[in-house]
Structure 1
Amino acid sequence: MQYRVRHITKYAYGAPVSLCYNMAHLLPRDTEHQRCLNQKVRIYPLPVYQNENTDYFGNQTFYFSIQEAHKKLEIDVTCDFDITPIDLDAYRAKSITSCGQLRAFMQSPRTEAEHLAKEYLLDSPQIRRSEDLRNYAKEIFSDEKNVLKATLEFTHKLFSEFTFDPNTTTVATPLEQVLAQRSGVCQDFAHLAIGCLRSVGLPARYMSGYLETLPPPGQEKLIGVDASHAWFAIFLPELGWVEFDPTNDLMPSDQHIVTAWGRDYADVTPLQGVIFEGGGSQQMSVSVDVRRL
């Protein structure tokens, strides 16, 4: 399946910004099941400096600097992807590791992949392990349970017990509050799942990207109504990193497009930077469109 993703971010400032430095995680990355066919970045005003690089996690980053006064900033990124569907039945057939075995492997890694996965057991800027998170998940991830089956069960638990509500959280809402109020958005659900998995001794990482959304039958798809999406992945020695989407209660196959992954949202923020002046106020709008080619 081939997709075109267009992601437009606009800023309007209360007063002219004299100088800004920015870093974006908006460029695609190639994976085992995903290949970027082409990409185009347009920025207004034109940057005086721009450069592409790769971060610690292997994600593509885009740096740019604007050194002229401006009251508006627009970043327009268009990428084409080719997605190969994941054979989820094959994943289930090959999954043999139990939760107890995976915990033991993480204590005494045998392979390079297991050594690298240990990093995703640790606390990160926005995810802290806790007893509350452990208690919420420990029964599902008992030693004898198959990891993949247990994670599917846990994904369904989050989907069933939490309500999607963008008005109840911000990017800084603590996991304990999300757990208590049982509501949030995809980022919260991904963070909560990762925090629970790490709290029971299993490695998990944050996935950032896009999800194709389809209009109701008979209605035309509107432009710009899609959004960035977040989900999580857990490491299995026999399969590598396997992805789960608790917001939609499924394992991603060919409708999830990956832009970046890391320990949590702080590692892969779509756009971050520093501005000088600007009047102390700003308004941001984001438009995302995911279309099949």
Structure 2
Amino acid sequence: MKYQLRHTTHYDYSSPVTLSHNEARLLPRDLDYQHCKNTRLSITPTPLRQHERLDFFGNRIVYFAIQDIHDSLEVTIRSQITTQPRPAPAGDEVHTAWEAVVEQLAPGRGGIATAIDPDSLEARLFTLNSPFIHRSESLRQFALDCFTPQRSLCDSVLALNQKIYQEFSYDAEYSTLATPLEDVLKDRKGVCQDFAHLAIGALRSVGLAARYVSGYLETFPPPGQEKLVGADASHAWLSVFIPNWGWLDIDPTNGSLPGERYLTLAWGRDYGDVTPLRGVMNGGGAHELTVEVDVLPLES
């Protein structure tokens, strides 16, 4: 699949800004199943300084500083993205019992007598608590409905994906970044970010490694209606680590495995590691935020 991606973030400030320093995580990743070209980042007003780097997780970050007095900020990313089918979970590795994987990822393994492969060692970071996701007994019990004794890791993960999809309601008005996971679990509703955090918290609470993924999903208008410009939105899902196989993406919001319609932007421990745009400034007062996203399919 080929897509033209456009993501515009616009801030209007109630009073002038005299100086701002910002980081944008808006440049999509190049992956085995995703290739980007003609990627352009446009910033208004024009920054005095701008440079790109990779963060700890390999995400592309653009730092920029604006010193001209301004009362608005607009950042737009455009990129042509080609996606391919992702590897399906197959082989002996995906049939390993989940308890064996927990044991392999547990702290303390990996000494001289119990060598551990580098990928599993790196994945241990994603078994730990993070700012938005804390392991808990309630999340562990929620996961254990799917992680029954000696069940394969892959089957257990797919069952958890379906459990969240079937038992939780999508409610765009329910949560904010400050809504605790325990509330999402109790009230059985939220948005894609909540469901990704919930699944990650459940997986980490049983000792598995899971990371947060941000990106976009091609959407379709209602039958008989045209697709509105700027009507698409960012999306969130997660990846689960399978030793000796890799990271398996799941989307509990839709109860599916991400495929060619999913465009990957960045990943990290939770939403805080992949915030699209953040910074500090002098002045500005209150602000009004507008976000427009288009994921437009292109002819092959």
Distance 2:25 2:154 in 1: 29
1:50 aligns with 2:37: no
Shift of 1:215: 1.8
Distance 1:12 1:219 in 2: 31
1:290 aligns with 2:289: no
Letter in 1 for 2:240: I
1:272 aligns with 2:271: no
Shift of 1:235: 0.2
Aligned with 1:182 (options 188, 192, 198):
188
Distance 1:124 1:70 in 2: 35
Partner of 2:61: 61
Distance 2:229 2:154 in 1: 36
1:123 aligns with 2:123: no
Distance 1:49 1:143 in 2: 55
1:256 aligns with 2:262: yes
* 1:49-198 equivalence runs, <5 A: 49-88=49-88, 91-93=89-91, 95-107=94-106, 108-109=109-110, 110-198=116-204
Distance 1:206 1:153 in 2: 18
Partner of 1:33: 33
Tell me the TM-score normalized by structure 2: 0.94
**SS of aligned partner of 2:227:** coil
Shift of 1:171: 1.2
1:242 aligns with 2:241: no
Letter in 1 for 2:23: M
Tell me the TM-score normalized by structure 1: 0.96
Shift of 1:93: 5.0
Deviations 1:129-183 (CA, angstroms, capped at 9, x unpaired) = 0111111111311341111111111111101111111111001111011111111
**SS of aligned partner of 1:50:** strand
Distance 1:101 1:82 in 2: 36
Distance 1:32 1:219 in 2: 35
Partner of 2:209: 203
Letter in 2 for 1:288: V
Distance 2:126 2:38 in 1: 31
Larger CA deviation: 214-223 vs 69-78 = 214-223
Shift of 1:92: 4.0
Distance 2:133 2:159 in 1: 22
Shift of 1:37: 1.7
8 A contact 1:53–1:61 mirrored in 2: yes
Distance 1:87 1:258 in 2: 15
Partner of 1:226: 232
Gap runs ≥5 in structure 1: none
Deviations 1:114-143 (CA, angstroms, capped at 9, x unpaired) = 000001000001100011111111131134
Distance 1:16 1:37 in 2: 36
Distance 2:228 2:91 in 1: 39
Shift of 1:96: 2.0
Shift of 1:212: 0.5
Gap runs ≥5 in structure 2: 111-115
The aligned length equals 290
**SS of aligned partner of 1:26:** strand
Shift of 1:87: 4.2
8 A contact 1:97–1:237 mirrored in 2: no
**SS of aligned partner of 1:276:** strand
Aligned with 1:215 (options 214, 221, 235):
221
Aligned-pair Cα RMSD in Å: 1.1
**SS of aligned partner of 2:20:** strand
8 A contact 1:100–1:142 mirrored in 2: no
Shift of 1:238: 3.2
8 A contact 1:92–1:148 mirrored in 2: no
